[in-house]
Amino acid sequence: MNQKVDWFFDKDTKWQKEYQKLRTIILDCGLIEELKWGCPCYTFQTNNVVLIHGFKEYCALLFHKGALLSDSEKLLIQQTKNVQAARQMRFTNLQEIIDLIPVIKAYIFEAIEIEKAGLEVKMKKTTEFEIPDELIKAFEHNSDLETAFNALTPGRQRGYLLYFSQAKQPKTRVSRIEKSMPKIFEGKGVNDK
Protein backbone atom coordinates (compact mmCIF):
# COMPACT_ATOMS: atom_id res chain seq x y z
CA MET A 1 0.00 0.00 0.00
CA ASN A 2 1.15 3.46 -0.87
CA GLN A 3 0.37 6.07 1.80
CA LYS A 4 0.09 8.77 -0.88
CA VAL A 5 -3.00 6.95 -2.16
CA ASP A 6 -4.68 6.39 1.23
CA TRP A 7 -6.72 9.60 1.00
CA PHE A 8 -8.62 8.12 -1.97
CA PHE A 9 -9.72 5.15 0.12
CA ASP A 10 -10.29 7.13 3.31
CA LYS A 11 -12.60 9.76 1.84
CA ASP A 12 -16.30 9.25 2.44
CA THR A 13 -17.76 8.25 -0.91
CA LYS A 14 -20.57 6.10 -2.20
CA TRP A 15 -18.02 3.47 -3.28
CA GLN A 16 -15.67 3.47 -0.26
CA LYS A 17 -16.22 -0.24 0.65
CA GLU A 18 -15.97 -1.29 -2.99
CA TYR A 19 -12.75 0.70 -3.46
CA GLN A 20 -11.21 -0.92 -0.38
CA LYS A 21 -12.06 -4.41 -1.62
CA LEU A 22 -10.71 -3.74 -5.10
CA ARG A 23 -7.50 -2.38 -3.57
CA THR A 24 -7.00 -5.55 -1.55
CA ILE A 25 -7.62 -7.76 -4.57
CA ILE A 26 -5.21 -5.84 -6.79
CA LEU A 27 -2.45 -5.69 -4.19
CA ASP A 28 -2.82 -9.47 -3.70
CA CYS A 29 -1.76 -9.75 -7.35
CA GLY A 30 1.60 -8.12 -6.65
CA LEU A 31 1.19 -4.80 -8.46
CA ILE A 32 2.72 -1.51 -7.31
CA GLU A 33 0.26 1.12 -6.09
CA GLU A 34 0.67 4.68 -7.34
CA LEU A 35 -1.45 7.80 -7.67
CA LYS A 36 -2.10 8.90 -11.25
CA TRP A 37 -4.87 11.13 -12.62
CA GLY A 38 -6.13 11.48 -9.04
CA CYS A 39 -6.89 7.74 -8.84
CA PRO A 40 -5.12 4.64 -7.54
CA CYS A 41 -3.19 3.18 -10.45
CA TYR A 42 -1.43 -0.17 -10.30
CA THR A 43 1.71 -0.82 -12.28
CA PHE A 44 4.00 -3.65 -13.29
CA GLN A 45 7.60 -2.56 -14.00
CA THR A 46 6.38 1.06 -14.28
CA ASN A 47 3.73 0.15 -16.88
CA ASN A 48 0.11 1.00 -16.04
CA VAL A 49 -1.99 -2.15 -15.70
CA VAL A 50 -5.22 -1.24 -13.91
CA LEU A 51 -6.79 1.80 -12.27
CA ILE A 52 -9.64 2.15 -9.76
CA HIS A 53 -12.16 4.90 -10.38
CA GLY A 54 -15.77 5.72 -9.65
CA PHE A 55 -18.74 7.29 -11.30
CA LYS A 56 -22.27 8.16 -10.28
CA GLU A 57 -23.78 4.79 -11.22
CA TYR A 58 -20.81 2.46 -10.73
CA CYS A 59 -17.21 2.04 -9.70
CA ALA A 60 -14.76 0.37 -12.02
CA LEU A 61 -11.44 -1.21 -12.73
CA LEU A 62 -9.93 0.31 -15.84
CA PHE A 63 -7.57 -2.05 -17.63
CA HIS A 64 -5.20 0.13 -19.63
CA LYS A 65 -4.71 -2.51 -22.33
CA GLY A 66 -8.11 -4.12 -21.84
CA ALA A 67 -8.61 -4.48 -25.59
CA LEU A 68 -5.91 -7.18 -25.50
CA LEU A 69 -7.54 -9.20 -22.71
CA SER A 70 -9.42 -12.34 -23.75
CA ASP A 71 -12.45 -11.24 -21.67
CA SER A 72 -13.59 -14.84 -21.23
CA GLU A 73 -16.39 -13.78 -18.86
CA LYS A 74 -17.56 -10.90 -21.10
CA LEU A 75 -17.18 -8.35 -18.30
CA LEU A 76 -15.20 -5.64 -20.06
CA ILE A 77 -16.85 -2.52 -21.42
CA GLN A 78 -15.49 -0.06 -23.95
CA GLN A 79 -16.56 3.32 -22.50
CA THR A 80 -17.10 4.96 -25.87
CA LYS A 81 -16.48 3.88 -29.46
CA ASN A 82 -13.42 6.15 -29.58
CA VAL A 83 -11.59 4.50 -26.67
CA GLN A 84 -9.08 2.25 -28.34
CA ALA A 85 -7.08 0.44 -25.65
CA ALA A 86 -8.75 0.73 -22.24
CA ARG A 87 -11.68 -1.35 -21.02
CA GLN A 88 -13.69 -1.14 -17.80
CA MET A 89 -14.97 -3.81 -15.47
CA ARG A 90 -17.91 -2.15 -13.68
CA PHE A 91 -19.43 -2.85 -10.27
CA THR A 92 -22.55 -1.53 -8.55
CA ASN A 93 -22.14 -3.16 -5.12
CA LEU A 94 -19.65 -4.87 -2.82
CA GLN A 95 -21.17 -8.34 -3.13
CA GLU A 96 -20.69 -8.26 -6.87
CA ILE A 97 -16.95 -7.73 -6.32
CA ILE A 98 -16.74 -10.45 -3.66
CA ASP A 99 -18.49 -12.93 -5.96
CA LEU A 100 -16.01 -12.18 -8.74
CA ILE A 101 -12.72 -12.20 -6.80
CA PRO A 102 -11.21 -15.19 -8.67
CA VAL A 103 -12.32 -13.75 -12.02
CA ILE A 104 -10.98 -10.27 -11.22
CA LYS A 105 -7.63 -11.78 -10.25
CA ALA A 106 -7.54 -13.84 -13.45
CA TYR A 107 -8.06 -10.68 -15.51
CA ILE A 108 -5.34 -8.85 -13.56
CA PHE A 109 -2.88 -11.73 -13.99
CA GLU A 110 -3.65 -11.83 -17.72
CA ALA A 111 -3.03 -8.06 -17.90
CA ILE A 112 0.32 -8.57 -16.15
CA GLU A 113 1.25 -11.26 -18.69
CA ILE A 114 0.42 -8.82 -21.49
CA GLU A 115 2.89 -6.35 -19.94
CA LYS A 116 5.55 -9.05 -19.50
CA ALA A 117 5.18 -9.96 -23.18
CA GLY A 118 5.48 -6.28 -24.18
CA LEU A 119 2.25 -6.36 -26.17
CA GLU A 120 0.79 -3.09 -27.43
CA VAL A 121 -2.68 -2.18 -28.62
CA LYS A 122 -2.64 -1.36 -32.33
CA MET A 123 -4.05 2.15 -32.45
CA LYS A 124 -6.03 3.51 -35.36
CA LYS A 125 -4.20 5.95 -37.56
CA THR A 126 -5.60 9.45 -37.86
CA THR A 127 -6.62 8.68 -41.45
CA GLU A 128 -8.86 5.87 -40.14
CA PHE A 129 -11.01 8.26 -38.08
CA GLU A 130 -14.24 9.42 -39.65
CA ILE A 131 -14.24 13.04 -40.76
CA PRO A 132 -17.59 14.70 -39.97
CA ASP A 133 -19.49 15.96 -43.02
CA GLU A 134 -19.55 19.43 -41.51
CA LEU A 135 -15.74 19.53 -41.46
CA ILE A 136 -15.56 18.31 -45.05
CA LYS A 137 -17.92 21.16 -46.05
CA ALA A 138 -15.82 23.64 -44.08
CA PHE A 139 -12.73 22.45 -45.99
CA GLU A 140 -14.58 22.86 -49.31
CA HIS A 141 -15.42 26.48 -48.42
CA ASN A 142 -12.04 27.30 -46.91
CA SER A 143 -8.97 25.57 -48.36
CA ASP A 144 -6.75 27.45 -45.89
CA LEU A 145 -8.58 25.67 -43.05
CA GLU A 146 -7.88 22.30 -44.67
CA THR A 147 -4.22 23.22 -45.11
CA ALA A 148 -3.94 24.35 -41.48
CA PHE A 149 -5.74 21.24 -40.23
CA ASN A 150 -3.46 18.94 -42.25
CA ALA A 151 -0.43 20.76 -40.82
CA LEU A 152 -1.46 19.80 -37.27
CA THR A 153 0.20 16.84 -35.58
CA PRO A 154 -1.73 13.58 -35.94
CA GLY A 155 -2.66 13.72 -32.25
CA ARG A 156 -4.12 17.22 -32.58
CA GLN A 157 -6.03 16.17 -35.69
CA ARG A 158 -7.49 13.18 -33.80
CA GLY A 159 -8.42 15.45 -30.91
CA TYR A 160 -10.42 17.73 -33.19
CA LEU A 161 -12.03 14.85 -35.06
CA LEU A 162 -13.21 13.30 -31.79
CA TYR A 163 -14.36 16.67 -30.41
CA PHE A 164 -16.36 17.49 -33.54
CA SER A 165 -17.80 13.96 -33.89
CA GLN A 166 -19.00 13.77 -30.29
CA ALA A 167 -21.63 16.44 -30.94
CA LYS A 168 -24.99 14.83 -31.69
CA GLN A 169 -26.51 17.77 -33.58
CA PRO A 170 -25.12 18.98 -36.93
CA LYS A 171 -25.47 22.60 -35.82
CA THR A 172 -23.35 21.85 -32.74
CA ARG A 173 -20.68 20.27 -34.94
CA VAL A 174 -20.70 23.38 -37.16
CA SER A 175 -20.45 25.63 -34.11
CA ARG A 176 -17.52 23.63 -32.71
CA ILE A 177 -15.70 23.79 -36.02
CA GLU A 178 -16.23 27.57 -36.30
CA LYS A 179 -15.07 28.17 -32.73
CA SER A 180 -12.01 25.94 -33.25
CA MET A 181 -10.83 27.61 -36.45
CA PRO A 182 -8.60 30.24 -34.74
CA LYS A 183 -6.80 27.51 -32.78
CA ILE A 184 -6.40 25.34 -35.88
CA PHE A 185 -4.87 28.29 -37.75
CA GLU A 186 -2.49 28.81 -34.80
CA GLY A 187 -1.45 25.14 -34.91
CA LYS A 188 -2.96 24.44 -31.50
CA GLY A 189 -4.85 21.40 -30.31
CA VAL A 190 -8.44 21.42 -29.07
CA ASN A 191 -7.32 21.60 -25.41
CA ASP A 192 -4.35 23.93 -25.90
CA LYS A 193 -4.54 27.43 -24.38
Read off the DSSP letter of residue 11.
S
The structural domains of the chain, with segments of one domain joined by +, span: 3-117, 126-186
First-last CA distance in the chain: 37
Paired with 33 in beta bridges are 42
Q: Residues 6 or more apart from 185 whose CB is under 8 A from it?
A: 144, 145, 148
pTM above 0.85, yes or no: no
**Mean pLDDT (whole number) for 148-174:** 91
> How far is the C-alpha of 139 from the C-alpha of 148, rounded, in Å?
10
**Mean pLDDT (whole number) for 161-174:** 91
State percent of the chain over pLDDT 90. 77
**Mean pLDDT (whole number) for 50-60:** 96
Task: Give all strands (DSSP E) within 55-142, no chain letters.
Answer: 59-63, 76-77, 87-91
Q: How many CB atoms lie within 10 A of CB 66?
A: 24
Question: If you classify domain 3-117 with CATH, what class do you get?
Answer: alpha beta
7-16, 129-138, 172-181, range with greatest mean pLDDT: 172-181
**Mean pLDDT (whole number) for 123-129:** 75
Q: Residue 147 — very low, low, confident or very high, per pLDDT cuts 50/70/90?
A: very high
Q: Are strands 76-77 and 59-63 parallel, antiparallel or unpaired?
A: unpaired
Question: Is residue 47's pLDDT more than 90?
Answer: yes
Question: Is residue 128's pLDDT more than 80?
Answer: no
Q: Residues 6 or more apart from 113 whose CB is under 8 A from it?
A: none
Angle of CA points 61, 63, 28, to nearest 5°: 65
* Helix residue spans in the chain (DSSP H): 6-10, 16-28, 94-99, 101-117, 133-141, 143-151, 154-166, 170-186
pLDDT tens column, 67-98? 999 999 999 999 877 778 999 999 999 999 99
